[in-house]
Amino acid sequence: MNWEGRNVLVTGAGGFIGSHLVELLARRGARVRALVRYNSRGTFGWLNDLDPDLYRTLDIVQGDLRDAETVTRAVHRNDLVFHLGAMISIPYSYVSPTETVAVNVTGTLNVLNACRFHGIEKLVHTSTSETYGTARSVPIDESHPLQAQSPYSASKIGADKLAESFHRSFDLPVTTVRPFNTYGPRQSARALIPTVMVQMLTMPVIKLGSLTPTRDFTYVSDTVQGMLAAAEAPAAVGKEINLGTGREISVGDLVRLISLICDKPVETQQQLERVRPEKSEVNRLLSDNTLARKLLGWQPEVDLEQGLRKTLDWFRRHLSEYQRAQIDYVI
């Protein structure tokens, strides 16, 4: 697809993945409208850190996904929509499941209704590998059962099913992409890799939750390339598609790998407050990306070691910002 001059809306545009997607679309020549959650500081998340020439091309809209009127106005006059906006913290979903459901389910419903009303050419809806829960079989393909092991994952399952229903009921051209543990520059201090890297750079002991769960880590540039590929592929309409590497690593082994890259021996210490409730812990995630390769022509290009080096270099340059942030553990 030629993105030059295409009108594209990105929800959740100020966040980690959203800002990378906005940046890629703008560099491809798209006219990007960026929906970011309103805050009294008047800041736009990571969009404020983009190249000034790219930033000036953006149409930034502040609002809340829970407000249908705001969402409808944001979708208006766009050709395509990438829906990334969500309440993403698993620990916060234990504390406030009501807000999590309101943003992730009702917010997605508002996006779907607006896309249907305005006759959007294509909607790419963003899911998460958390919807699979602990793997019953590996690698996990798209036919794997969905298991709600946290209020967050339940809310994302609800959002995914709404997207599926709008395709089946109203023929809405929607594709659901399901990233597996995206990481890279700009990631929230809540996430595992930033937690490990910031502590490793600043502390003698790394405090974590469980070290045994395994994850399939995907570098952010690969994830956003997969999203663009999903928008470009007619055969992807109505499908749910994994975006993962097909490689798993335990939390403990990840810490040791980052330690080698940092050239710094470290001690790990488990903190009970960082451990998920037993039945809520997702013990194993490993993707089968066959469908993405087949339908999208997509495959990951950045291996884990290379991606960790890129991420570590970025965190070293932005360490003071993350030291000021409260780091709580999310896999």
Tell me how far apart the alpha carbons of residues 222 and 220 are, in angstroms, rounded to a whole number: 5
Asked whether residue 274 is assigned to any structural domain, the reply reads no
How much is the pTM?
0.95
Total domains in the fold of the chain? 1
Asked whether residue 155 is assigned to any structural domain, the reply reads yes
pLDDT reported for residue 16: 97
What is the Cα 119 distance to its own chain's centre? 26
Tell me how far apart the alpha carbons of residues 256 and 176 are, in angstroms, rounded to a whole number: 34
Sequential DSSP letters for 211-277? S--EE--EEHHHHHHHHHHHHH-GGGTT-EEEE--S--EEHHHHHHHHHHHHT---EEEE-GGGSPP
pLDDT reported for residue 226: 98
pLDDT reported for residue 309: 98
Q: How many CB atoms lie within 10 A of CB 41?
A: 6
Tell me how far apart the alpha carbons of residues 131 and 147 are, in angstroms, rounded to a whole number: 6
Phi first, then psi: give them for residue 182, nearest 5 degrees: -65, 140
pLDDT in tens, 88-129: 989 899 999 999 999 999 999 999 999 999 999 999 999 999
Return the structure tokens found at 186: 């700009």
pLDDT reported for residue 330: 30
Task: Give buried/exposed letters for 70-109 (b at 16+ CB in 10 A, else e).
Answer: bbbebbeebbbbbbbbbbbbbbbbeeebeebbbbbbbbbb
pLDDT reported for residue 206: 87
Angle (CA) 155 159 136, round 5°: 65
Asked whether residue 100 is assigned to any structural domain, the reply reads yes
pLDDT reported for residue 331: 27
Asked whether residue 192 is assigned to any structural domain, the reply reads no
- What range defines the domain where residue 132 resides? 7-184+217-246+283-301
Whats the size of the chain, residue-wise?
A: 331
Tell me how far apart the alpha carbons of residues 100 and 128 are, in angstroms, rounded to a whole number: 14
Asked whether residue 166 is assigned to any structural domain, the reply reads yes
- Please report, for the domain that includes residue 68, its CATH number: 3.40.50.720
Asked whether residue 311 is assigned to any structural domain, the reply reads no
Furthest-apart CA pair in the chain: how many Å? 56
Asked whether residue 234 is assigned to any structural domain, the reply reads yes
Asked whether residue 11 is assigned to any structural domain, the reply reads yes
pLDDT in tens, 158-199: 999 999 999 999 999 999 999 999 999 999 988 999 999 999
Q: Which residues of the chain have pLDDT under 50?
A: 326-331
Q: How many helices (H) and strands (E) does the chain have?
A: 13, 13
